[in-house]
Amino acid sequence: MAEQLHLQASSREERYQELYPQLQSLTCRETNLIANLANAAAALRQAFDFFWVGFYLVEGDELVLGPFQGDIACTRIARGRGVCGTSWLTGKTLVVPDVDAFPGHIACSSASRSEIVVPLRDTAGEIVGVLDIDSDQLSDFSEEVDRPALEQIALLLAPLFSKVKQ
Ligand code: SME
């Protein structure tokens, strides 16, 4: 079946609002975690043309690269390292306006200028990975628009992880 996103809004906030129900219907019909994360990464990239969108998934004491859209990236990140590992360690979303100013930032690409990382939890509240989005523009992500919208998407994805564990 052909899948197509319908996105018309010009503001980022409205685009997130358009995207959310489409992500919901896209992921609720499929139980395979990889398929759902792959489509979620593709949808976010397609909607906003971000430089890099992807998932890192918890495996032991590391994050391992999962489905993503963009250039090749580092495959393993230790807990507490870089923006992704710090988001996992603290359990908090990190909005980084200038990656060069973030101590310990892991530069997978020199074109990346700003970044947002959102922890992903399963329905039991355990952190199972992070959603990482990079931009080639400085200060491209905001606490007011991107953070709540992406945290809402992280909540939408939570049951997918729980299905895998059952
Ligand atoms: N910059 C991230 C590493 C992953 S790449 O951006 C794809 C970090 O510091 O954790």
pLDDT at 130: 98
Tell me if 115 CB under 6 Å of ligand 1. yes
77 in ligand 1 pocket by Cβ < 6 Å? yes
SS3 string of the chain?
CCCCCCCCCCCHHHHHHHHHHHHHHHHHCCCCHHHHHHHHHHHHHHHHCCCEEEEEEEECCEEEEEEEECCCCCCEEECCCHHHHHHHHHCCCEEECCHHHCCCCCCCCCCCCEEEEEEEECCCCCEEEEEEEEECCCCCCCCCCHHHHHHHHHHHHHHHHHHHHC
Task: Report pLDDT for 3.
Answer: 78
- Reported as a single tens digit per residue, the pLDDT across 84-134 is 999 999 999 999 999 999 999 999 899 999 999 999 999 999 999 999 999
Mean pLDDT computed over 156-164 = 85
* Per-residue pLDDT, 29: 87
Is-contact 29 14, C-beta < 8 A? no
pLDDT in tens, 12-41: 999 999 999 999 999 998 999 999 999 999
pLDDT band at residue 2 under the 50/70/90 scheme? low
* Residue 165 pLDDT greater than 70, yes or no: no
| Rounded Cα gap, residues 47 and 35, in angstroms | 18
Of 166 and 131, the one with more pLDDT: 131
Domain 12-162 belongs to what architecture? 2-Layer Sandwich (3.30)
Q: Is the pLDDT of residue 166 over 80?
A: no
Which ligand 1 atom is the nearest neighbour of the CA of 86? Answer: 10
Ligand 1 centroid distance, CA of 60 (Å):
18
Phi, psi of 91 (to 5 degrees): 70, 20
**What is the per-residue pLDDT across 145-158, written as a single tens digit (0 to 9) for each?**
999 999 999 999 99
Mean of the pLDDT values across residues 60-71? 98
Does residue 138 or residue 109 have the better pLDDT? 138
pLDDT at 163 over 80: no
100 C-alpha to ligand 1 centroid (Å):
12
pTM score of the predicted model: 0.96
* pLDDT given for residue 94 in this prediction: 98
* CA 40/CA 53 separation, integer angstroms: 9
Domain borders along the chain are 12-162
